[in-house]
Amino acid sequence: NAGVTQTPKFQVLKTGQSMTLQCAQDMNHNSMYWYRQDPGMGLRLIYYSASEGTTDKGEVPNGYNVSRLNKREFSLRLESAAPSQTSVYFCASSGTSGRNTQYFGPGTRLTVL
């Protein structure tokens, strides 16, 4: 099992460009999450999806959109990137089979110039 995979691992964008971060999990988990990590701030929740077809805003949703494409995949889109979105982005998933524990992908380091 690969667990949670994310692509790309690194990305540099110019202000105003758009991009989609991809996340997939092979653990048959119902719930998936997107977090961002900034220096000195810990991880903060952007969006989450309790199940296929549902999404909810987290603590810092502005400037982002998400799509729960199917049970395995949960993508995060930046429509018009801003320097404030420079961060490390983590996808995670959880399910009852894992005793409610969230498992994380390797992260994407995004720089917006």
Partner 1 sequence: AQTVTQSQPEMSVQEAETVTLSCTYDTSESNYYLFWYKQPPSRQMILVIRQEAYKQQNATENRFSVNFQKAAKSFSLKISDSQLGDTAMYFCAFMKPYSGNTPLVFGKGTRLSVIA
Q: What angle do CA 35, 50, 65 make, to 5 degrees?
A: 50
Shortest Å distance, C-beta 44 to partner 1: 7
b (16+ CB within 10 A) / e for 69-94: eebbbbbbebeebeeebbbebbbbbb
Q: By rule CB under 8 A, what string of x and - marks binding of each residue 2-41 to partner 1? A: ----------------------------xx-x-x----xx
- Does position 62 interact with partner 1 (CB under 8 A)? The reply is no
- Does position 63 interact with partner 1 (CB under 8 A)? The reply is no
The size of the interface with partner 1 (CB under 8 A), counted in residues, is 31
Contact between residue 90 and residue 34 where contact means Cβ atoms under 8 Å apart: yes
Q: Measured between alpha carbons, how far is 64 from 61 in angstroms, rounded to an integer?
A: 6
Contact between residue 85 and residue 77 where contact means Cβ atoms under 8 Å apart: no
Residue choice 70, 106, 111, 113 for contact with partner 1 (CB under 8 A)? 106
Which stretches of the chain bind partner 1, using CB under 8 A? 30-31, 33, 35, 40-45, 48-51, 54, 56, 58, 88, 90, 92, 94, 96, 99-104, 106-107, 109
